[in-house]
Amino acid sequence: MKKNKKILIIVWCLILLFLLVWSFTLNKNDNDYLLSIDIESNNNVNNPVDYSKIINDVRGEYHNNDIVGILSIDNTNYRVPILQGEDNEYYLNHTPDGRENFMGSIYLDYRVNIDSSRKLLIYGHNSSRIDMPFKILEEFYDIDYFNNHKNMSIITESTEKKYEIFSVYVEPSDYSYMNLKLSDEEFSNQIKMFKKKSLYDTGVEVTDTDEILVLQTCSTHKDYSNYEKKYLLIILRRVL
């Protein structure tokens, strides 16, 4: 009896330990996806910025040549590498250093060119429990947050692109925003749709000649909890 009691106590201790570790995993603040390399040191007011060196330094940091850019949100410490694979599946569950992990990466749609395409699509994971790579995007439900973080930038090998947000909304059914082969008329209609669906008026005007950036992640907004698939979209126009 005493032996059985000891075994039972050990089993319960192991169960308790597992639950504690599991709870910690769900609630931890894991910022490993943020850039750890200092790219500011590459900037020198007396010399042109060497964007190629910046990207190559980040590639060296992660030992991965699939890194094509760096995404940052103004007025935050959010700065992440942008990956691009041969499909839109690999970096769903691989980190920037190539490890298989459910956190995944921030990655660019394989069908576009980060320097020359007029519409870019960038994806990343979100969660209501874990600090996932694109969880920060849900802050933009709040118009006050938008007012203080309207701008983002992307560094590529050749330049730094500046963007401003013109639409924020949750899409539960119409995924046509992912279409890339668009005529000029279809592109114009899509921009109008983005503006119309926005949760609030950003006050930003967009033209048919603007370059567009679409950031996509899963939405955890309670108003869309009954939908199987619902994506939060942050849509920006290039300003520089």
Which pLDDT tens digits describe the chain residue by residue (240 residues)? 555 666 555 555 555 444 444 444 444 445 678 997 776 655 555 678 999 999 999 999 999 999 999 999 999 999 999 999 999 999 999 999 999 999 999 999 999 999 999 999 999 999 999 999 999 999 999 999 999 999 999 999 999 999 999 999 999 999 999 999 999 999 999 999 999 999 999 999 999 999 999 999 999 999 999 999 999 999 999 999
How confident is the model at residue 1, as a pLDDT?
57
What is the pLDDT at residue 29? 43
pLDDT at 172: 97
Q: Using an 8 Å Cβ cutoff, are 120 and 214 in contact?
A: yes
| Per-residue pLDDT at 17 | 41
Note the pLDDT of residue 2.
Answer: 56
Residue-level pLDDT at 150: 98
Place of tokens 């969660």: 127
Local structure of 161: helix, strand or coil:
strand
Please report the pLDDT score of residue 234 as a whole number: 98
Beta bridge pairs of residue 212: 119, 237
H helices of 28-72, where? 51-62
- Residue 4 has a pLDDT of 61
Beta partners for residue 52, in sequence order: none
